[in-house]
Chains A and B, each alone.
Chain A
Amino acid sequence: QVRLVESGGGLVKPGGSLRLSCAVSGFTFSDYYMSWIRQAPGKGLEWVSYISSSGITKYYADSVKGRFAISRDNAKNSLYLQMNGLRAEDTALYYCAGGPTSLQFDSWGQGTLVTVSS
Protein backbone atom coordinates (compact mmCIF):
# COMPACT_ATOMS: atom_id res chain seq x y z
CA GLN A 1 0.00 0.00 0.00
CA VAL A 2 1.48 3.29 -1.12
CA ARG A 3 1.82 5.78 1.73
CA LEU A 4 3.25 9.30 1.81
CA VAL A 5 3.43 11.17 5.11
CA GLU A 6 4.50 14.81 5.27
CA SER A 7 5.90 16.49 8.36
CA GLY A 8 7.78 19.60 9.39
CA GLY A 9 5.10 22.23 8.92
CA GLY A 10 4.35 24.88 11.49
CA LEU A 11 4.19 28.58 12.29
CA VAL A 12 7.19 30.63 11.22
CA LYS A 13 7.88 34.36 11.03
CA PRO A 14 8.45 36.12 7.70
CA GLY A 15 12.02 35.59 6.60
CA GLY A 16 12.30 32.37 8.54
CA SER A 17 13.06 28.84 7.42
CA LEU A 18 11.44 25.42 7.57
CA ARG A 19 12.36 21.98 6.30
CA LEU A 20 9.53 19.74 5.19
CA SER A 21 9.90 15.99 4.98
CA CYS A 22 7.90 13.31 3.22
CA ALA A 23 8.34 9.72 4.34
CA VAL A 24 7.18 7.14 1.83
CA SER A 25 6.44 3.43 2.04
CA GLY A 26 4.77 0.73 0.02
CA PHE A 27 6.74 1.24 -3.17
CA THR A 28 10.29 1.52 -4.46
CA PHE A 29 10.97 5.17 -3.73
CA SER A 30 14.03 5.33 -5.97
CA ASP A 31 11.76 4.60 -8.96
CA TYR A 32 9.43 7.50 -8.21
CA TYR A 33 9.47 11.02 -9.61
CA MET A 34 8.40 13.39 -6.86
CA SER A 35 7.00 16.89 -6.45
CA TRP A 36 5.84 19.29 -3.80
CA ILE A 37 2.48 20.92 -4.45
CA ARG A 38 0.83 23.48 -2.21
CA GLN A 39 -2.66 24.78 -1.61
CA ALA A 40 -3.25 28.11 0.10
CA PRO A 41 -6.32 28.24 2.37
CA GLY A 42 -9.44 28.20 0.22
CA LYS A 43 -7.42 28.31 -2.99
CA GLY A 44 -6.40 25.96 -5.78
CA LEU A 45 -3.38 23.75 -6.30
CA GLU A 46 0.03 25.23 -7.11
CA TRP A 47 3.01 23.10 -8.12
CA VAL A 48 6.15 24.09 -6.19
CA SER A 49 9.03 21.83 -7.14
CA TYR A 50 9.96 18.57 -8.90
CA ILE A 51 12.82 16.12 -8.53
CA SER A 52 13.61 13.17 -10.76
CA SER A 53 13.92 9.64 -9.43
CA SER A 54 17.72 9.88 -9.34
CA GLY A 55 17.70 13.35 -7.81
CA ILE A 56 19.68 14.81 -10.69
CA THR A 57 16.96 16.89 -12.32
CA LYS A 58 15.16 19.56 -10.32
CA TYR A 59 12.65 22.22 -11.27
CA TYR A 60 11.08 25.05 -9.32
CA ALA A 61 8.12 27.36 -9.73
CA ASP A 62 9.18 30.95 -10.31
CA SER A 63 7.46 31.94 -7.06
CA VAL A 64 9.94 29.90 -4.98
CA LYS A 65 13.06 29.82 -7.14
CA GLY A 66 16.13 30.82 -5.18
CA ARG A 67 14.38 30.37 -1.84
CA PHE A 68 13.32 26.71 -1.78
CA ALA A 69 15.42 23.60 -2.41
CA ILE A 70 14.12 20.11 -3.08
CA SER A 71 16.13 17.01 -2.28
CA ARG A 72 15.69 13.31 -1.65
CA ASP A 73 17.40 10.46 0.14
CA ASN A 74 16.52 7.25 -1.65
CA ALA A 75 18.21 5.18 1.05
CA LYS A 76 15.88 6.70 3.65
CA ASN A 77 12.79 6.70 1.40
CA SER A 78 12.40 10.41 2.05
CA LEU A 79 11.74 13.61 0.15
CA TYR A 80 12.59 17.05 1.51
CA LEU A 81 11.81 20.69 0.87
CA GLN A 82 14.10 23.29 2.46
CA MET A 83 12.23 26.58 2.57
CA ASN A 84 14.16 29.80 3.27
CA GLY A 85 13.12 33.44 3.15
CA LEU A 86 9.52 32.52 3.84
CA ARG A 87 6.81 35.03 3.00
CA ALA A 88 3.19 35.38 4.00
CA GLU A 89 2.16 34.17 0.54
CA ASP A 90 3.93 30.85 1.19
CA THR A 91 1.23 30.01 3.76
CA ALA A 92 -0.37 26.81 2.50
CA LEU A 93 -0.92 23.11 2.95
CA TYR A 94 2.09 21.43 1.35
CA TYR A 95 1.58 18.04 -0.29
CA CYS A 96 4.22 15.64 -1.51
CA ALA A 97 3.09 13.71 -4.56
CA GLY A 98 4.64 11.49 -7.17
CA GLY A 99 4.57 8.43 -9.34
CA PRO A 100 6.56 5.90 -11.34
CA THR A 101 6.56 8.21 -14.33
CA SER A 102 7.14 11.93 -14.59
CA LEU A 103 3.84 12.32 -16.38
CA GLN A 104 1.42 12.57 -13.48
CA PHE A 105 1.03 12.56 -9.69
CA ASP A 106 -0.27 9.07 -8.93
CA SER A 107 -0.02 9.24 -5.16
CA TRP A 108 -0.42 12.08 -2.67
CA GLY A 109 0.23 12.57 1.02
CA GLN A 110 -2.23 14.27 3.36
CA GLY A 111 -0.22 17.47 3.56
CA THR A 112 1.55 19.52 6.21
CA LEU A 113 0.46 23.07 7.02
CA VAL A 114 2.92 25.94 6.81
CA THR A 115 1.85 29.28 8.25
CA VAL A 116 4.02 32.35 7.77
CA SER A 117 2.97 35.13 10.08
CA SER A 118 4.47 37.58 12.52
Chain B
Amino acid sequence: QSVLTQSPSASGTPGQRVTISCSGSSSNIGSNTVNWYQQLPGTAPKLLINSNNYRPSGVPDRFSGSKSATSASLAISGLQSEDEADYYCAAWDDSLNGWVFGGGTKLTVL
Protein backbone atom coordinates (compact mmCIF):
# COMPACT_ATOMS: atom_id res chain seq x y z
CA GLN B 1 0.00 0.00 0.00
CA SER B 2 1.65 3.20 -1.21
CA VAL B 3 1.44 6.43 0.79
CA LEU B 4 0.58 8.36 -2.38
CA THR B 5 -2.40 7.05 -4.35
CA GLN B 6 -2.43 6.75 -8.12
CA SER B 7 -4.81 4.96 -10.45
CA PRO B 8 -3.09 1.76 -11.64
CA SER B 9 -3.78 2.41 -15.31
CA ALA B 10 -4.65 5.05 -17.86
CA SER B 11 -5.02 5.02 -21.61
CA GLY B 12 -5.53 7.25 -24.60
CA THR B 13 -5.22 7.38 -28.35
CA PRO B 14 -2.50 9.25 -30.24
CA GLY B 15 -3.05 12.99 -30.11
CA GLN B 16 -5.32 12.85 -27.07
CA ARG B 17 -4.75 14.53 -23.73
CA VAL B 18 -4.55 12.31 -20.67
CA THR B 19 -4.28 13.17 -17.00
CA ILE B 20 -2.75 11.09 -14.22
CA SER B 21 -3.63 11.97 -10.65
CA CYS B 22 -1.78 11.54 -7.38
CA SER B 23 -3.42 11.88 -3.98
CA GLY B 24 -1.58 12.36 -0.70
CA SER B 25 -1.95 14.08 2.63
CA SER B 26 -0.93 17.18 4.55
CA SER B 27 2.40 15.65 5.58
CA ASN B 28 3.57 15.02 2.02
CA ILE B 29 1.93 16.72 -0.97
CA GLY B 30 0.23 19.23 1.29
CA SER B 31 3.52 20.62 2.55
CA ASN B 32 6.15 19.69 -0.05
CA THR B 33 6.66 19.81 -3.78
CA VAL B 34 5.73 16.93 -6.07
CA ASN B 35 7.93 15.28 -8.66
CA TRP B 36 6.93 12.97 -11.47
CA TYR B 37 9.07 10.18 -12.92
CA GLN B 38 8.65 8.32 -16.18
CA GLN B 39 9.82 4.72 -16.46
CA LEU B 40 9.90 3.35 -19.99
CA PRO B 41 9.75 -0.45 -20.27
CA GLY B 42 12.98 -2.09 -19.12
CA THR B 43 14.70 1.18 -18.21
CA ALA B 44 15.50 3.23 -15.12
CA PRO B 45 13.12 5.98 -14.06
CA LYS B 46 13.69 9.47 -15.40
CA LEU B 47 12.76 12.80 -13.83
CA LEU B 48 9.87 14.21 -15.84
CA ILE B 49 8.48 17.04 -13.72
CA ASN B 50 10.04 18.60 -10.61
CA SER B 51 8.80 21.07 -8.04
CA ASN B 52 5.16 20.52 -9.06
CA ASN B 53 5.34 21.97 -12.55
CA TYR B 54 8.90 22.42 -13.85
CA ARG B 55 10.21 20.45 -16.79
CA PRO B 56 13.90 19.51 -16.74
CA SER B 57 15.85 20.29 -19.86
CA GLY B 58 14.90 17.98 -22.70
CA VAL B 59 11.41 17.12 -21.50
CA PRO B 60 8.83 18.06 -24.15
CA ASP B 61 6.33 20.76 -23.25
CA ARG B 62 3.57 18.21 -23.90
CA PHE B 63 4.15 17.20 -20.28
CA SER B 64 2.87 19.46 -17.51
CA GLY B 65 2.29 19.18 -13.79
CA SER B 66 0.06 20.86 -11.26
CA LYS B 67 -0.67 20.68 -7.56
CA SER B 68 -3.62 21.68 -5.43
CA ALA B 69 -3.78 21.11 -1.68
CA THR B 70 -2.98 17.41 -1.14
CA SER B 71 -3.30 16.29 -4.76
CA ALA B 72 -1.20 16.58 -7.89
CA SER B 73 -1.70 15.83 -11.55
CA LEU B 74 0.41 15.07 -14.57
CA ALA B 75 -1.04 15.98 -17.93
CA ILE B 76 0.21 14.71 -21.26
CA SER B 77 -1.12 16.40 -24.37
CA GLY B 78 -0.68 15.28 -27.96
CA LEU B 79 -0.19 11.71 -26.77
CA GLN B 80 2.44 9.73 -28.67
CA SER B 81 3.20 6.01 -28.78
CA GLU B 82 6.56 6.60 -27.10
CA ASP B 83 4.75 7.96 -24.04
CA GLU B 84 3.69 4.42 -23.16
CA ALA B 85 5.35 3.95 -19.77
CA ASP B 86 4.84 3.80 -16.02
CA TYR B 87 4.48 7.16 -14.29
CA TYR B 88 5.21 7.74 -10.61
CA CYS B 89 4.57 10.71 -8.37
CA ALA B 90 6.80 11.35 -5.36
CA ALA B 91 7.07 13.78 -2.47
CA TRP B 92 8.93 14.18 0.79
CA ASP B 93 6.87 13.17 3.82
CA ASP B 94 7.48 15.27 6.94
CA SER B 95 5.93 12.66 9.26
CA LEU B 96 7.90 9.71 7.91
CA ASN B 97 11.08 11.73 7.30
CA GLY B 98 11.44 10.08 3.95
CA TRP B 99 10.41 10.09 0.34
CA VAL B 100 7.11 8.50 -0.61
CA PHE B 101 6.08 7.31 -4.04
CA GLY B 102 2.75 6.61 -5.63
CA GLY B 103 2.09 3.07 -6.72
CA GLY B 104 2.55 4.05 -10.35
CA THR B 105 0.21 4.47 -13.30
CA LYS B 106 0.71 2.35 -16.39
CA LEU B 107 -0.13 4.44 -19.45
CA THR B 108 -1.20 2.60 -22.56
CA VAL B 109 -1.37 4.33 -25.94
CA LEU B 110 -4.12 2.58 -27.89
Contact = CB atoms under 8 A, between A and B. Distances in A.
Contact of A47 (B39, B51, B86, B99): B99
B67 to A, nearest CB: 14
B88 A104 contact: no
A106 B50 CA distance: 9
Interface string B40-51: 000011110011
Contacts of A109: 44
Given A44-B2, A44-B88, A44-B103, A105 B37 contact: yes
B59 to A, nearest CB: 12
B44 A106 contact: no
How would you classify the secondary structure of chain A's contact residues: helix, strand, loop or mixed?
strand
* Interface size, A (range): 20 to 34
A59 B96 CA distance: 10
Interface string B51-87: 1000010000000000000000000000000000010
Nearest to B36: A104
A113 B100 CA distance: 21
